[in-house]
Amino acid sequence: MYMDGTLTQNLVESPIQRYLDALYERFLPLRDGNVADYIPELATADRDAFGIALVTVDGHVYQAGDTRQPFTIQSISKALVYGLALEDNGVDAVTAKIGVEPSGDAFNSISLEDGTGRPLNPMINAGAIATTGLVHGKDRNEVLARILARFGQYMGHEPEVDGVVYASERDTGHRNRAIAHMLRNFDILEGDPEDALDVYFRQCSINVTCRDLALAAATLANRGVNPITGVVALKRDLVGKVLSVMSTCGMYDYAGSWIYEVGLPAKSGVGGGIMAVLPGQLGLGVFSPPLDARGNSVRGIRVCQEISKEFDLHLFNAARIAPSVIRARYDGSGVRSKRARTREQSEKLDEAGKRLRIYELHGDLAFGTTEIVIHDVTSAMTDTDYLILDFRRVYSVDGAAGKLLLRLCEDFETAGKQIVFTHTGNKFELERLLRRSLERETADRILRFADRDRALEWCENELLGQSASDLELSMSAGFTGQEYLDGLAPDQLARLESLLEKRRYAAGELIAHKGDPANEIFFLTRGAASISLPLVHNARTRLATLSAGMAFGESALIGDSHRTADVRAETDVECYVLLASELADVDDPELTQIRARLIENLACGLADKLRSANLEIQSLS
């Protein structure tokens, strides 16, 4: 936004997108590891290719690097095919043939259970070949077609087999062939073991992108429903079974350290892909061909470690579940602070208020819930310059959410826009991060206000284009500049002025006290005064702040009553005071006319207040 208050259309970038871009840059120079070459065709992979994709259970996609470059899915297929075999046969029939115990061995180990010949789990090759043998279909082609169709449900489009990689693997896969024949020997595989083996080679050679992997992972995170297409890719009661074997066995003999450190069920493949799932929140896909000694992508592991640490995604550090953290959102044209405005200012705010948006949040803010807020906010900020994030009903803000919010502040700053926080006082982690960022000057201006009312007031001043000196000016007005005296003729004004007493109050001084007799009307000519009510624990709620040119205590005109709130000078105040009884002489026609006019003005003022209260109620509902 420009200082003259004109509208800007700068887009706010998502801090999540910015984070992935930075992560990509950071790990691009990491060149450790070797491209798999035991399948000759894999050795031709581009070792520099590198992509990161993140898809949320709401279907929001973030990606950085080579996320559309195809590579073969390899062992990641094992997890998806396992789900299909469970659906085809039921859990008991599958576990009768394939165990669910981590082997701690390499992916291609020929370890079968003593006596039964059962592979230890479906994530090592032996278990995976047995799993493929369990997928229903009248022949190889039908089984493969069902697998491809199933992958299509996870990925939103049906992928294809890379014929060259398949041929390479088929011609050199002697070890896998040995495993398949052993499985046949123990009747784990039934029929021709070459059938299961052939489909297995093909399923490993299916081309995917890292966006596909992230979407498949997000589908698992979303209880089997593809979050973009809405298609069911896996029965919901089986999702937990697939994620369990991914947790305990998905990263081969690195599985234990992986779940301990990264805490995400995951599956890797020798093509360089890793798919990781945070149930209920998101899916990750990373692609980078060079592998470590265990056959896991070197960059893939580093990226997952970093993202998990940065955003506290460890499965067992779960956030409390909240359906949505956005309680209400609306623009500023219908809501006003308690700062009273002149009619002209008020009309200006009816229009300019559209450039302000207010989000009331509730519940617990962690990575997933904060992403929802950020996604909503960044897409709503094109015509908006100010954003109030109201934390009044937020229980907690964890470190990951705090970091994201801070980065959102920076992104707003870059786009020339402003975020205003309210009620952050008891969100200690957020407060700490905000303070630290101000100290380090990573953000020039982070604004926090005690409550929504004060935040609204600040934004309104900005929207009115009022600099501090403008505001100072508007805080002084002569007696004749009083809104409340509209329609009085010059001689009536002169008569009224003769009845007034001039008074001054120092900033902070009490002007009227709740319960006092209400017999005086105050016309502010300089400074500002606030009307407020005491609450429990020394807190107060502000009913209004009035500035020069405005009046308070007018109800003294309508009858004997008592003050219903406290009035305190916010700044040094100068005012004229009229004792209501001065106008009471019914035998004086001029006084009677003046009094009638003032009562009419009072009625107009009340009607205005009612109108804006109605507008506010409407925008809050």
Shortest distance, position 287 Cβ to ligand GLN, whole Å: 13
For residues 169 and 410, which CB has a smaller minimum distance to ligand GLN in the complex?
Answer: 169
CA distance 101 to 328: 47
CA distance 113 to 234: 28
For residues 178 and 610, which CB has a smaller minimum distance to ligand GLN in the complex?
Answer: 178
Among 83, 269, 332, 549, binds ligand GLN (CB under 6 A): 269
Is 78 in the active site? Answer: yes
CA distance 56 to 244: 20
Catalytic residue among 19, 24, 57, 75: 75
Closest CA to 458 of 469, 473, 472, 468: 468
Shortest distance, position 258 Cβ to ligand GLN, whole Å: 14
Shortest distance, position 273 Cβ to ligand GLN, whole Å: 9
For residues 166 and 311, which CB has a smaller minimum distance to ligand GLN in the complex?
Answer: 166
Is 62 in the active site? Answer: no
Shortest distance, position 285 Cβ to ligand GLN, whole Å: 15
Among 14, 56, 121, 125, binds ligand GLN (CB under 6 A): 125
Query: Which residues ranging from 140 to 169 are in contact with ligand GLN (CB under 6 A)?
Result: 169
Shortest distance, position 269 Cβ to ligand GLN, whole Å: 4
For residues 290 and 295, which CB has a smaller minimum distance to ligand GLN in the complex?
Answer: 295
Give the CA distances from residue 132 to residues 77, 265, 326, 429, in Å, rounded to whole numbers and listed in that order. 10, 21, 44, 49
Site membership for ligand GLN, residue 285 (CB under 6 A): no
Is 270 in the active site? Answer: yes
Among 17, 89, 95, 108, binds ligand GLN (CB under 6 A): 108
Shortest distance, position 19 Cβ to ligand GLN, whole Å: 28
- Sequence-ordered alpha helix ranges (H) in 90-119: 91-97
For residues 56 and 75, which CB has a smaller minimum distance to ligand GLN in the complex?
Answer: 75
Catalytic residue among 19, 24, 82, 252: 252
For residues 179 and 352, which CB has a smaller minimum distance to ligand GLN in the complex?
Answer: 179
Shortest distance, position 73 Cβ to ligand GLN, whole Å: 8
| Residue keyed to tokens 């509902």 | 621
Among 295, 334, 363, 368, binds ligand GLN (CB under 6 A): 295
Catalytic residue among 24, 57, 78, 437: 78
Q: First CA to last CA across the chain, in angstroms?
A: 30
Among 67, 75, 345, 601, binds ligand GLN (CB under 6 A): 75
Neighbours of 245 (CB within 10 A): 25
Among 107, 166, 484, 552, binds ligand GLN (CB under 6 A): 107
For residues 266 and 401, which CB has a smaller minimum distance to ligand GLN in the complex?
Answer: 266
Shortest distance, position 202 Cβ to ligand GLN, whole Å: 10
- Sequence-ordered alpha helix ranges (H) in 262-356: 298-310, 343-352
Instruction: List the x/- string, 212-251, binding to ligand GLN by CB under 6 A.
Output: ----------------------------------------
Among 63, 74, 109, 601, binds ligand GLN (CB under 6 A): 74
Closest CA to 245 of 72, 55, 81, 88: 81
Catalytic residue among 19, 82, 166, 200: 200
For residues 176 and 474, which CB has a smaller minimum distance to ligand GLN in the complex?
Answer: 176
The answer to whether the CB of 129 falls within 8 A of the CB of 177 is no
- What is the per-residue DSSP string for 299-322? HHHHHHHHHHHHTT--TTSPPPP-
Q: What's the DSSP call for residue 157?
A: S
Q: Check the CA dihedral 27-32-36-42 and report its sign.
A: positive
CA distance 370 to 572: 43
Beta bridge partners of 365: 397
The count of chain residues that interact with ligand GLN, using the rule CB under 6 A, is: 11
460 three-class SS: helix
The answer to whether the CB of 213 falls within 8 A of the CB of 277 is no
Shortest distance, position 226 Cβ to ligand GLN, whole Å: 24
Among 204, 352, 415, 518, binds ligand GLN (CB under 6 A): 204
Catalytic residue among 270, 335, 373, 420: 270
Closest CA to 162 of 56, 298, 302, 269: 269
Q: Judge residue 30's burial from the number of C-beta atoms within 10 Å of its C-beta, 0-12 exposed, 13-18 middle, 19 or more buried.
A: middle
Among 270, 278, 356, 518, binds ligand GLN (CB under 6 A): 270
Query: Which residues ranging from 452 to 511 are in contact with ligand GLN (CB under 6 A)?
Result: none
Closest CA to 489 of 380, 595, 594: 594
CA distance 496 to 577: 11
219 three-class SS: helix
Largest CA distance in the chain: 119
Among 109, 131, 132, 176, binds ligand GLN (CB under 6 A): 176
Is 75 in the active site? Answer: yes
Strands (E), 527-597: 528-534, 540-547, 551-552, 561-562, 566-569, 573-579
Residues that bind ligand GLN (CB under 6 A): 74-75, 107-108, 125, 169, 176, 204, 269-270, 295
Active site residue ranges: 75, 78, 200, 252, 270
